[in-house]
């Protein structure tokens, strides 16, 4: 594959190698004032996340949001450090609404209470636009959110799941023009190509609601406004696999709806001997097999899949175009050099 130079107008998603946990940095297209808007989805290692953002934005950035997908330690360990650093204090803090009694989570809430950051409890259907990038919250479903801690909805199924799509046109203008004429502009955009889904730790309960709320509707011969929508909102190029590739991460039928080209598992290999024989828990054979059947290329940040190499994974999505990606060679305690060129492996 030919080298691809990362451009300032690209949407760049970096899934950092932080051992067992998630730290994801989203660099949105650069604004006219030369500042990069940044989103942070979970943070297991604060210093690595900070150093990477500074290097990857020429130290000219504004943190638009920090999203804590759910309050498990491997996803929120470094967030309080970010909130206490004025350089990384976000405009918004996105919370799943699952109230956890851990000391780490309580410290985050205490810090937020003394800051100007807006705290938002997000749920499915929420949309946000940053430049030409549209962000849709796929989960948690309101039906699950309203049952937290009362009817046994566990913390993983409370995870925030995000869908990011990079357009070549103004997002709101596209949507406002959708019902003009007999041709669907959304259909023509081939939406799944420039889409990435970040799945947190969502498991079966969450995916059952996602597939109900974001269905694929079939195309008829003629586009009839207000009758048919023709976009499969789960179609994507890239999926950050849920729950480190555990056996509960996603069923095959969900991956078939997604049809991802690239599946990234942020993990550190763990084995179980609690059942007959030894089996890998992360990534689990069932998860890997489902991804292989959906014909996705699989990368793990610890290099555990098919004797791969460990390292952070970088995806650059040009406006409305096909993503380019590469895996770096950093260990979990190293900050990788900010890449300028990606080569598909």
3-class SS shares of the chain: helix, strand, coil, % to 5: 25, 25, 50
Largest alpha-carbon pair distance within the chain? 61
Tell the residue number behind the tokens 């008829």, with chain if given: 220
Residue 226: per-residue pLDDT = 45
Residue 325: per-residue pLDDT = 95
Residue 278: per-residue pLDDT = 58
H helices present in the chain, as ranges: 46-56, 73-76, 79-83, 103-113, 142-145, 171-176, 185-188, 204-213, 252-258, 285-293
CB 29 within 8 A of CB 10: yes
List pLDDT tens digits, range 34-49.
999 999 999 999 999 9
Q: Is 293 exposed, middle or buried (0-12, 13-18, 19+ CB in 10 A)?
A: exposed
d(CA 100, CA 74): 14
Residue 227: per-residue pLDDT = 45
Residue 279: per-residue pLDDT = 66
List pLDDT tens digits, range 243-288.
999 988 888 899 999 999 999 999 987 766 666 555 678 898 889 9
Give the residues of the chain that fall short of pLDDT 70: 1, 150-151, 178-191, 216-230, 271-279, 344-345
d(CA 225, CA 144): 31
Q: Which residues contact 289 (CB under 8 A, 6 or more apart)?
A: none
d(CA 142, CA 210): 11
Nearest to 315 by CA among 196, 212, 165, 161: 196
Q: Is 8 helix (H, G, I), strand (E, B) or coil?
A: coil
Q: Is 273 helix (H, G, I), strand (E, B) or coil?
A: coil
H/E element, 139: strand 133-139
Tell the residue number behind the tokens 């705290």, with chain if given: 119
d(CA 51, CA 333): 12
Residue 232: per-residue pLDDT = 82
Tell the residue number behind the tokens 């849709």, with chain if given: 136
Residue 280: per-residue pLDDT = 73
Predicted TM-score of the model (pTM): 0.93
d(CA 12, CA 14): 6
Query: Phi-psi region for residue 90, left (φ > 0), alpha (ψ -120 to 50) or beta?
Result: beta
Residue 163: per-residue pLDDT = 97
Residue 240: per-residue pLDDT = 98
CATH of domain 8-332: 3.60.15.10
């Amino acid at each position: 594959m030919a080298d691809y130079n990362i451009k300032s107008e690209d949407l760049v998603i970096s899934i950092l190698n932080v051992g067992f946990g998630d730290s994801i940095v989203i660099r949105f297209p650069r604004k006219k004032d030369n500042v990069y808007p940044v989103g942070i989805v979970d943070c297991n290692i604060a210093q690595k996340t900070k150093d990477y953002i500074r290097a990857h934005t020429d130290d000219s950035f504004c943190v638009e949001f920090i999203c804590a997908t759910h309050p498990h330690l491997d996803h929120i360990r470094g967030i309080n450090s970010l909130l206490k650093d004025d350089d990384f204090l976000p405009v918004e803090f996105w919370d799943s609404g699952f109230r956890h009694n851990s000391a780490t989570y309580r410290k985050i809430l205490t810090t937020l209470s003394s800051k100007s950051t807006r705290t938002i409890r997000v749920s499915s259907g929420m949309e946000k636009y940053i430049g030409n990038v549209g962000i849709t919250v796929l989960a948690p479903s309101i039906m699950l959110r309203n049952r937290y801690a009362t009817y046994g909805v566990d913390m993983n199924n409370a995870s925030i799941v995000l869908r990011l799509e990079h357009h070549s046109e103004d997002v709101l203008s596209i949507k406002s023009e959708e019902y003009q004429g007999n041709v669907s502009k959304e259909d023509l955009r081939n939406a799944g190509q420039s889409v990435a889904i970040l799945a947190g730790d969502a498991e079966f309960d969450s995916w059952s609601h996602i597939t109900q709320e974001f269905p694929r509707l079939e195309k008829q011969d003629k586009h009839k406004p207000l009758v048919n929508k023709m976009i499969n909102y789960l179609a994507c190029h890239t999926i950050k696999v849920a729950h480190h590739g555990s056996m509960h991460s996603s069923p095959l039928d969900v991956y078939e709806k997604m049809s991802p080209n690239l599946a990234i598992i942020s993990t550190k290999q763990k084995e179980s001997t609690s059942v007959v024989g030894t089996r890998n828990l992360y990534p689990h054979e069932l998860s890997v097999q489902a991804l292989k059947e959906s014909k996705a290329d699989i990368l793990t940040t610890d290099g555990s899949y098919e004797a791969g190499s460990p390292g952070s994974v970088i995806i650059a999505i040009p406006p409305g175009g096909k993503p380019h990606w590469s895996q770096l060679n950093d260990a979990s305690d190293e900050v990788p050099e900010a890449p300028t060129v990606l080569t598909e492996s």
